[in-house]
Amino acid sequence: MKIEKLLWSKTKTDILKYLIFKQEGISLRALENVLKRSFPAIKKQVDILEESWVVYIDKISSGWEVYIKEDLKPFIRKIFLYSLYEDILDLINENDNLIKEYFLGKLFWYELPDNIDLVFIYDPQYSALLDKFKFQLDKLLESYFLDKIIITFLDIKQFYKRYTTWDKFAITLKGKWWKKCI
């Protein structure tokens, strides 16, 4: 899902991503600095979001602060998490044969051991691609302003060895939340 197409604006998309995943109650000037966009571009998109009742502006003495409307936050978060999920799948598919299984954790509202957000099981014969995959994943997560994500990478042999020896972590993953890559 290309969320920028849905919202008709990369600036608008980045504003909402920042408000959902990083910080609300931020001024337009601070958004200008964080998003590296011009103030008029930020103001225009915030005005559109305010007119559509997605955000509201709290006019305080030191300036304006932008917030997402409380009743819309869960809905908007789900849309962006779905978009992130699709982007992760695209990344997995771009790196042929590297990732064999993946598990979604607390970022996507699933409980994994040790509060892990994402687990990737990779094929060690393609481990030369792993650094490239990690770099691309980091860039993807940065684009969503997600910087405190706990990610675990296990090679498939290591994972199944843990699974067959009744390792609690591997059993919990395989038993409940596994997603097989195609």
Query: What does the pLDDT profile of the chain (182 residues) look like in tens digits?
Result: 555 555 678 899 999 999 999 998 999 899 999 999 999 999 999 999 999 899 989 887 677 899 999 999 999 999 999 999 999 999 999 987 899 988 888 788 766 666 788 899 999 999 889 999 999 999 999 999 998 888 999 999 999 898 888 888 887 777 654 454 43
81 within domain boundaries = no
Sheet of 178-180: strands edge to edge?
A: 151-155, 118-122, 99-104, 178-180
Structural domain total, the chain: 2
- Residue 58 Cα distances to 48, 62, 68, 89, angstroms: 16, 11, 11, 38
- Residue 65 Cα distances to 23, 43, 154, 178, angstroms: 11, 12, 42, 41
170 within domain boundaries = yes
Please list, residue by residue across 71-81, b when 16 or more beta carbons sit within 10 angstroms of its beta carbon and e when fewer do.
eeeeebeebbb
CATH number of the domain at 48, please: 1.10.10.10
Kindly state whether residues 176 and 102 are assigned to the same domain: yes
86 within domain boundaries = no
| 166 Cβ contact partners less than 8 Å away, ≥ 6 residues apart | none
111 within domain boundaries = yes
Kindly state whether residues 112 and 62 are assigned to the same domain: no
Kindly state whether residues 173 and 106 are assigned to the same domain: yes
Kindly state whether residues 107 and 175 are assigned to the same domain: yes
Phi, psi angles (nearest 5°) of residue 177 = -120, 15
Q: What pTM, to 2 d.p., does this model score? A: 0.83
Q: Give 54's DSSP letter.
A: S
Q: Residue 122: beta bridge partners?
A: 99, 155
84 within domain boundaries = no
Kindly state whether residues 101 and 165 are assigned to the same domain: yes
Q: Which domain holds residue 52?
A: 3-68
